[in-house]
Chain A
Amino acid sequence: MSTQPSTGTPARFLVRGAERDTVLGDLVSALVALGDDASRATQTSRDVRLHVISCHAEHLAGEVRDLMTDSAFDGPFVEAGGLVASATAAREALEKTAEGPLPESIAASVRWLIDLTEAVTT
């Protein structure tokens, strides 16, 4: 029995799309976690940069989510691990997108956001 999709789309493109969504989904999850951790930190700190991180992270997550072919893709569930850990996770997720079609404008914004987070935590 053939496992080829009936749509006629070559399987390698479907796989590539799914892999791409996985990579982007990881970045979405990492950004949401980063935003949530920054938001949690605002309850004990009056550093206004935490608010900026919280909002930008959520907005960038939205922009990356828009790039996904399967917008319902949930990505992995990321436990709150604190700002340092979530910044590291976001950087790792961003690095994985180097081979994928993440627009440079979004990648640059994510890099700046991570730099800002590292500035807050150091």
Chain B
Amino acid sequence: MRVPDRRSVGELLVDCDLATRGMLANPDALEAAAMVRSWPEVVQAAHELLGALPTAQRVVRPGEEAADLVGERLHLMATAMDAQLRRRPWPGPGPADDELQNVAENLLRAHDLVRRYLRTADTPAPVLVADADAARTRILHTLYVGSHALTVAVRSMSGALQAREMKARPDAVSARQRRAQASALSVALSRLDAFEQVAGAEVYRYFPEALGGEHRESPVADRLSTAIVHWDVAAHRAMARSPSMATLVELTRVQTSLLAVTRVVLNAASMFDIADTHLDSTQLEPQLTAAESAWGFLHSTLRDLTANRHRAATVQLRSAGAELVHALTELVLDGTSVAEPATIAARIDVAATARTLAGALVAPHHKSALLLDAALHDGTRVSARGAQQLLTRLAGVPGSGVSASPQQSWLDPADVTAGRDIPPPAPIREAISHNIHTVDARSSLLAAAAIAATTPSRRPLPDPSHRTRSVGPELHQRQPALQRAAQYSRR
């Protein structure tokens, strides 16, 4: 059964771009003849797609022919090369290049989608124009990189032919064939060089800036809230069913990240004054920072105590954590940069997202209460090397119970040397316990602040000077109660 192609225009173009880049990753595998046969079809498809894209000046309506001048020029160059090579023995008939055929099919599919679904308007919206400019740049980049891959393949074949020529016996027939092939390769090379230069000059006028206008799907509205709920359930289950160091490391790592991203989103909300009266983010900021720090410190302790081989959390916990982190990443990153508050605000409903995240701040308090049992479970084992490092650090801390030579009194050197896992020594248990109590306290304060910040504020009491006097003058009299009582008795 044929699976329907559900890729968007943007996805199809990214695939084209990646496919041509991928060719350059393995130049030895390139088949020059097959690529030269397929190239005109790729350029033809790209030309048609370029002609279908709207610009700031025009919208292309169905049935109209529009010219993208650079696309037209490249198309003519590719057609001319094809016409010249058809009269020569190379590349001749033969198989097409699968990768370039896929690129051509993707471009044709993108063209069909644009022609079918593009809404026509006399003045295209700026967002539409920016997206079309990004698509144009992506198409030209595909042609530019593709032509370069083709040049690499043809040059490689030309070099190989020259090497054979040096070794070949003087045979009139084969020599004539080799000369004809070399001539065809030379024609192809000169045409491809020119093509690459024209395409490259146009690409680097706009690349990569124009890609900034590429349309991005907004994050799915309830992805974050669903991910938070799944994470919460998975974390509770993991602590109840498999209370290992792997569980604790994963839990504290993701929890710290959740708090950090919440800080960024609330910051964006407050900068744009989007946080409405039901969410006062200024109340949350100090508690959020304190809780993030406490969770981060606990995570660092647990992380350093857990060896590589004991990091494997359950698949359920890891999947829930990964999905939550993906949902958070989608909010706050823009490529490899931190998204500007304006970008975050444009991308999502910041007020709703901030409320979702603030609502989730109550959960860490519940989790922290379960941490202690999980951390100090009988089966808990820590890395002897990690324990040694922590004990060394604790030796300088007054009241930690660690003497100046910690490894001698608390650890077997053989365990450290062999990198074994051991039950946590008493000072380590004490340190973990202390960290968890700190997390618990900070999470408790954060939960209280989150509840206060997300609860609609009560209606303010009216100013006493404006109160009605209908309650009776007696209640406002300043006389002592006994005198008032005497007044009543005299009436």
- Identify the A interface with B (CB < 8 A): 28-29, 32, 35-36, 39-40, 42-43, 46-49, 51-52, 54-56, 58-59, 61-62, 65-66, 71-75, 77-78, 112, 115-116, 118-120
A55 touches B309 (CB 8 A): no
Closest 10 CB pairs of A and B: A119-B336, A51-B257, A55-B325, A59-B322, A74-B309, A51-B260, A116-B336, A62-B318, A48-B264, A48-B260
A77 touches B308 (CB 8 A): yes
B260 touches A39 (CB 8 A): no
Asked if B79 CB lies within 8 Å of chain A CBs, one says: no
Task: Give the secondary structure class of A's interface.
Answer: helix
Asked if B235 CB lies within 8 Å of chain A CBs, one says: no
A32 touches B336 (CB 8 A): no
Inter-chain CA distance A74–B420, complex, in Å, is 12
Q: Quick one: closest A residue to B250, CB to CB? A: A58
Q: Which residues of A contact B328 (CB under 8 A)?
A: 52
A51 touches B311 (CB 8 A): no
Q: Which residues of B contact A118 (CB under 8 A)?
A: 336
Q: Which residues of B contact A58 (CB under 8 A)?
A: 249-250, 253, 311
B253 touches A55 (CB 8 A): yes
Of A39, A51, A54, A61, the residue contacting B261 (CB under 8 A) is A51
Task: Give the secondary structure class of B's interface.
Answer: helix
A32 touches B308 (CB 8 A): yes
B336 touches A54 (CB 8 A): no
Q: Which residues of B contact A65 (CB under 8 A)?
A: 312
Of B300, B332, B336, the residue contacting A39 (CB under 8 A) is B300
Inter-chain CA distance A111–B257, complex, in Å, is 21
Inter-chain CA distance A73–B311, complex, in Å, is 12
B338 touches A39 (CB 8 A): no
A39 touches B299 (CB 8 A): yes
Q: Quick one: closest B residue to A61, CB to CB? A: B311
B313 touches A39 (CB 8 A): no
A36 touches B336 (CB 8 A): no
Q: Quick one: closest B residue to A73, CB to CB? A: B309
Q: In chain B between 301 and 344, which residues have their CB closer than 8 angstroms to a CB of chain A?
A: 303, 307-309, 311-313, 315, 318, 321-322, 325, 328-329, 332-333, 336-338
A74 touches B325 (CB 8 A): no
